Amino acid sequence: MADLYTAVEEPSLAAFWRAEADGVREAFIKYFWRGEKFAEYIHPTGGPVDWHGMSDVDFAAIGFGLATPEQISILWPKLQQETAFWWGDMPTQAVTRPYTYRDWELGAPVNFFYNGPIYDMAAIGRVWYVETQAVRAMKDWDRLRQSARLVAQAGLKEGGYWYERYHMLQDRRVSAAGPKGYCEYPAILVRTVLGNWEVFTQ
């Protein structure tokens, strides 16, 4: 919003939204930073939750300019070394330890069909997009190219189609779930490659 108001030469409104954004950033750092990574979320009674390994929040903090330089210097090497994000060669898992959710973290039972209490904990295109933003911020072009290659290869195995998500299996593979032909991965693949064309044509 601040950038938009700057573009249309409304400096007072730009300043207002910049202050709002700065306030959100300060609160995020205060409540989410856990010393070596960010909490995944804050539970209303359980407080900051950070025992599911590293999460997409860590990528988001870097990719969207929330983390401080000092936090990035701690966080980025850990993110680079964490192989579980690309479990089964499929970027990017939402958390690196999906089977550690406690009963009180899970939603209440519902009276209609659903896919299990941790169905959202999988490799999903939207999580890969968050990772690509962190990678771009850090200018880690080798990682960007490799992740795009892995996503492309996953689609080629299925005749040019992707599933909605890919769940971790204990033998280092992933299990595809959701509709085949889901648009999220190909849309982000196109955006990643065409939006960083010079990186992919070096």
pTM of the model: 0.91
- Residues above pLDDT 90, as percent of the chain: 85
Judged against a pLDDT cut of 70, whether residue 6 lies above it is answered with yes
Residue 61: partners with Cβ closer than 8 Å, 6 or more residues away: 28, 32, 38, 67, 71, 75
Which pLDDT tens digit goes with each residue over 32-43?
999 999 999 999
Mean pLDDT of all residues in 81-97: 96
Q: Is the peptide bond before 92 cis (omega within 30 degrees of 0)?
A: yes
CA 9/CA 139 separation, integer angstroms:
31
Which pLDDT tens digit goes with each residue over 118-145?
888 999 999 999 999 999 999 999 999 9
- Residues above pLDDT 70, as percent of the chain: 99
